[in-house]
C-alpha cells in the first residue's frame, strides 16, 4: 500500500519520548512530520532535507512547517504521528520510503515506520540507508 503523508501530520501528544536531534536548520521548505535526512551543505553546516528512497533516513521533522534556514528538530525512534487522513492504514504494516518525498509504501525493502492505527505511524528505525 502506497500513500502520501498528510500535510496535516502531527505528533501524538502521548509519544513525546524518543530520539531528538536539535540545533539543525532546514535546508529546504519542509511540511510538518516530513521523513528527513541530515546532510552537510557546501559550507559544512548540517541541514535537514526531505528523505527519499536511497537516502539515509534520520527521522521526521518537528510537527510544524519549516522554511529553508529556520531552526528545526528531527524526531527519531519511538515517535508516533498522524500520517493518513483517509484512515487507510492497517496496524502492524511496515512502511518505507519511495522515490517521492513524503510518500510511504509497504513494498519498500527498508521499513522505517510501523502503522499503529488506521491513521498513525511510528518511527521504528533511524540513521539507516533506505533502499
Rg (CA), the chain: 13
What is the chain's mean pLDDT, rounded? 92
Q: How many domains does the chain have?
A: 1
What domain range includes position 83? 2-129
Q: Which of 72, 63, 51, 70 is nearest to 125 (CA)?
A: 51
pLDDT at 5: 94
What grid cell was written down for 39?
Answer: 546532510
* pLDDT at position 34: 97
Q: How many residues does the chain have?
A: 131
Q: Do 103 and 2 touch, CB atoms closer than 8 A?
A: yes
Q: What pLDDT was estimated at residue 16?
A: 62
Predicted local confidence at residue 21, as pLDDT: 93
Q: What integer pLDDT is reported at residue 87 of this predicted model? A: 85
pLDDT tens-digit map of 56-82: 999 999 999 999 999 999 999 999 999
| Mean pLDDT, residues 96-102 | 96
Look up the pTM and report it: 0.92
The H-or-E segment that residue 40 falls in is strand 35-40
Q: How does pLDDT run across 2-47, given as a tens digit for each residue?
A: 999 998 999 877 766 788 999 999 999 999 999 999 999 888 899 9
The alpha carbon torsion through 100, 129, 46, 104 (nearest 10 deg) reads 30
Mean pLDDT on 92-108:
96
In 3D, which of 55, 53, 112 has the Cα closest to residue 79? 112
**Which uninterrupted H or E stretch holds 22?**
strand 20-26
CA 120, 121, 122, 126 torsion: positive or negative?
A: negative
CA atoms within 13 A on the CB side of 28: 13
Amino acid at each position: 500500500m502506497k500513500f502520501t503523508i498528510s500535510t496535516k501530520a502531527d505528533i501524538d501528544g502521548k509519544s513525546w519520548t524518543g530520539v531528538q536531534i536539535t540545533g539543525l536548520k532546514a535546508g529546504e521548505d519542509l511540511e510538518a512530520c516530513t521523513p528527513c535526512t541530515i546532510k552537510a551543505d557546501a559550507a559544512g553546516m548540517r541541514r535537514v532535507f526531505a528523505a527519499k528512497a536511497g537516502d539515509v533516513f534520520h527521522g521526521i521533522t518537528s510537527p510544524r512547517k519549516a522554511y529553508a534556514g529556520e531552526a528545526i528538530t528531527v524526531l527519531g525512534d519511538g515517535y508516533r504521528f498522524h500520517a493518513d487522513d483517509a484512515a487507510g492504514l492497517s496496524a502492524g504494516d511496515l512502511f518505507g520510503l519511495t522515490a517521492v518525498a513524503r510518500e510511504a509504501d509497504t513494498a519498500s525493502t527498508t521499513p522505517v515506520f510501523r502503522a499503529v492505527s488506521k491513521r498513525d505511524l511510528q518511527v521504528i528505525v533511524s540513521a539507516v540507508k533506505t533502499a
